[in-house]
Structure 1
């Protein structure tokens, strides 16, 4: 994906903010607890916070949270879901916070959109010494047979290059954070946590429709792709009728500011 295409995808979510808030999964407290495990204090920046899926978990865990989001359409959903959280417009490359003002920076399903050459030093700037940068991603557990089939039938627009555990590990291995100069980051750590989301065939299709690749797709092409997914779900006994649990993993990348 070239720079212009990545920018188009990264800025697409506001067009589906309400659907994103309704259908995207939350994050397990176990995953978020591990993400923050090395943080020296409770002040947390939820960076590119979107509609507040991760923000709500952080608040429930007792963190002092401030959010930053570049898309002006998303914070209205966040404020509705998590009233009282301070929310600023900004980006990973331009964070409107003072130096050393937070103990952890977390970014849920978002770090792959960052220009790390710029965002890495900017994140390090707002982190206190010893602070943690962590990215949790919700990915599909394709070790489950019907989920593997779903990934194959959906195409990259709906289930992309970070949306299964093995693909996530390969993609995050290519993320580069400053390891020279000052400030810099230590070696990355990874962990995975079981997760699941209660869905129906219709709500799973609605969830996949909030993926960036689907949002930017021409309407006729998008409807064809979603129709293919609907047909597959109707053909599987696990998903054809009623509610089911979508098997997922929350995969977490964590690094410490030195």
Structure 2
């Protein structure tokens, strides 16, 4: 991956781990954006094809609204055709202010999680006095807190099950171990199958886009036929 950025293997190996993590995260975000962009392009093409129909519906709705707003006072319709409750104009006088939050309104930011739910704490202490330069010691009982929520790097795990055949020292008969109940029948685990079903079902991704998302986000290469097989298996389980 680092070669895509014009970075040699030697430079990459000497790069701090924190920088590597940031580069990998940016690469994953860029690929995910490409997937979303492709999906948006398809949806945009479908929306553009319906522009004429939407304009026609707007015209029809406007005509219906005009008919609904007619009564005996603004048309030639008789009073008997008026609705039971006349629409009354609002008595609230305009304030002259824009809708929404006003200038000076104190916003509500994301609430901080309690300390017991924090996984890592990094304390930042000043080393020297900003006035005289004297070395500082001690702790701040109420330091300013800033929390960053991050997802850990996700890499698929591969588990290999091996059925051994052993020979008996007494009679010489060879016996092979049976598959245990914990061994999945499919080549893909339950969490990976659920992820694929979420991509193709809830997010309505195509099989090709779902396969690309699994590859980019989890490092798992999967064929379009396997995507279909997982869909059938999950549907059957439900």
TM range, normalised to the smaller chain?
under 0.3
Larger of the two Rg values belongs to structure:
2
Task: Report the structure, 1 or 2, having the larger strand content.
Answer: 1
TM-score by length of 2: 0.23
TM-score by length of 1: 0.22
Task: Report the structure, 1 or 2, having the larger helix content.
Answer: 2
Instruction: State the structure with bigger RCO (CA 8 A, min sep 6), 1 or 2.
Output: 1
